[in-house]
Amino acid sequence: MIGRLNHVAIAVPDLEAGAAVYRAMLGAEVSAPQAQPKHGVTVVFVMLPNTKIELLEPLGEDSPIAAFLARNPAGGMHHVCYEVDDILAARDHLVAQGARVLGDGEPKIGAHDKPVLFLHPKDFCGTLVELEQV
């Protein structure tokens, strides 16, 4: 069921400053910012040969990233994203195994214009997991 690692997401208090670190210090290619109002974030992607790093900053006061940054003011790793072939089948399998899907349980369109779901971190070794259909 689980596919390749799509990205590791890092919450940052200042998206441009975070992107500058990856550009200047590591020589990375960084995408333009993309506002994701349905998810309450603005993101950039740091392109790597084998995956991506997603930098997230809050988009509005109700952003779940704002709450994360209140607890972690310097930022930090927020979630990992794995690819799946069929997000509904993956969801149903995981729920049958006892995993909790966050939100209403229905996929939403993510930053790559593909369906995504988030899984409760208490069910995955303390890590928030995002599934993205490829």
- Residues belonging to the active site: 130
DSSP, res 123 = G
| Contacts of residue 73, Cβ cutoff 8 Å, sequence gap at least 6 | 13
Q: How far is CA 59 from CA 15, 33, 38, 63, 129, in A?
A: 11, 12, 10, 6, 20
Structure tokens at 88: 């509904």
Query: How many CB atoms within 10 Å of residue 6?
Result: 22
